[in-house]
Amino acid sequence: MRNDHDIEKQMDAAYERGRIRRETVPQAIAAGYDATTGRVTVELSNGTRFEFPASQAQGLERATPEQLAQVEIMGGYGLHWEALDADLLVPELMAGLFGSRAYMAAKAGRQASPAKAAAARRNGVKGGRPRKVA
């Protein structure tokens, strides 16, 4: 059974972890949408800035420029578009992850490449994709 002292120690430890994170991990301090480039720009607390194409991000693909301009920063690590009900995390965006694992896998599967085209031609010569066996 936990007592109040244990809970207070855990809360103090959590606050300290948060303080350390705020001091060491850059946070988003400004964000906006540039309709001329079609990109969302994020400025970080360490003075750096990055941008990403809105059309590549989950939940933003079909948004209007007016909707995209309504970006909010949530807690320094998230971007939120209320009208779109879309949320993206800044660390993942910086890593080139523009959505959930399933979203990213689906986008990767749609990408055309010379290797995929060559494989499709080889399969076509052989009679197409093999049938699934039940």
In sequence order, which residues have a C-beta less than 8 Å from that of residue 79 and are 6 or more positions away? Answer: 28, 31, 40, 42, 71, 72, 73, 87, 88, 89, 90, 93
pLDDT at residue 60 tops 80: yes
78 with 95: CB under 8 angstroms?
A: no
For residue 129, is it within any domain? no
Average pLDDT over residues 24-49: 94
**Does pTM top 0.85 for this prediction?**
no
Does residue 113 or residue 63 have the better pLDDT? 63
For residue 53, is it within any domain? yes
| Range(s) of the domain holding residue 49 | 2-124
In sequence order, which residues have a C-beta less than 8 Å from that of residue 61 and are 6 or more positions away? Answer: 54, 55
- State the CATH number of the domain containing residue 117: 3.30.2020.40
In angstroms, the Cα distances linking 94 to 64, 98, 132 are 23, 9, 39
For residue 131, is it within any domain? no
Predicted confidence at residue 111, as pLDDT, reads 62
pLDDT in tens, 66-123: 999 999 999 999 999 999 999 999 999 999 999 988 888 887 766 667 777 777 778 7
Please give the tally of structural domains in the chain. 1
Per cent of the chain over pLDDT 70 is 92
